[in-house]
Amino acid sequence: MKFSANLGFLWRDRPLPAAIRAAKAAGFDAVECHGPYDVPVAQMNQALRDTGLSMLSLNTRRGNPVSGDNGLSALPGREAEARSAIDEAIRYAVAIGASRVHVMAGIASGASAHQSFVANLTYACAQALPHGISILIEPLNIYDAPGYFLNTTDQAIAVIDAVGAANLFLMFDCYHVQLMEGDLTNRLTSLLPRIGHIQFASVPDRGAPDQGEVNYRHIFRTLRNLGYTAPLGAEYRPEGDTDSTLGWMRTLRPGA
């Protein structure tokens, strides 16, 4: 079982290049991040070369968080901004060798939001395809992200089917899915062909996975038995310094 460190949550006390090096020292197999855009590409590539880690994924910009933006691609009337954010994310992903871009939907609802999201995702998939990049969409729970357009795996699959692009996949975050739908084992099993990346954190506090209501030893074993070999994304909020929370990497691996 391989693990990826989500640097939007882990080692947030240091710049991204230093966090990449910390992830390598801690034994992670890959890294992923949210918004790397303020870090020069050369610095990111140097850290990735020094560690031998790959950057699995990054997010499109949220827009203007101060005014309440949490993504742009499902917002009618803001298509130009959404596509500019998509272009920027794909350019950065290409420059650092990232293989996935998470296109954030934003706070919206209704048929017009669905249509905008489908249109912008169609654009994103077409732009990403020549570079071998997959586009991801992620349902977020209504408690942490009230008003976010995408909330459930069923809704995400409906959007993916409406777009009909071979490089569009579901980002399955066990934390969000457990809060909204539960039944993680069956959902992972049935949705696995549609999944482009899996993330995890404890429920309900979004801490390290060796606490809370989800038995991640069972989840990780299930994924191994299903033949899933890609790194799983550790996207949790450490209580204290990140290094002190990493005991789960030893105790929860299948066979540990």
Given 32, 81, 181, 235, the catalytic residue: 235
Residue 71's DSSP bridge partners are 105
Q: Give kind and range of the element (H or E) at residue 96.
A: helix 79-96
Given 138, 181, 213, 239, the catalytic residue: 138
For the packed helices 79-96 and 41-51, what is the interaxial angle rounded to 10 degrees? 40
219 and 174 Cβ atoms separated by less than 8 Å: yes
30 and 231 Cβ atoms separated by less than 8 Å: yes
- Report how far apart, in Å, the C-alpha atoms of 244 and of each of 125, 208, 217, 222, 247 are: 39, 10, 19, 27, 7
- Residue 235 is among the residues annotated as catalytic for this protein: yes
Measured distance CA(188)–CA(172) in Å, rounded: 8
What token pair was written down for 224? Answer: 């191994």
Cis peptide bond N-terminal to 193, omega within 30:
no
CA-based nearest residue to 232, from 244, 222, 243, 242: 222
Query: Which residues are the active-site residues?
Result: 138, 235
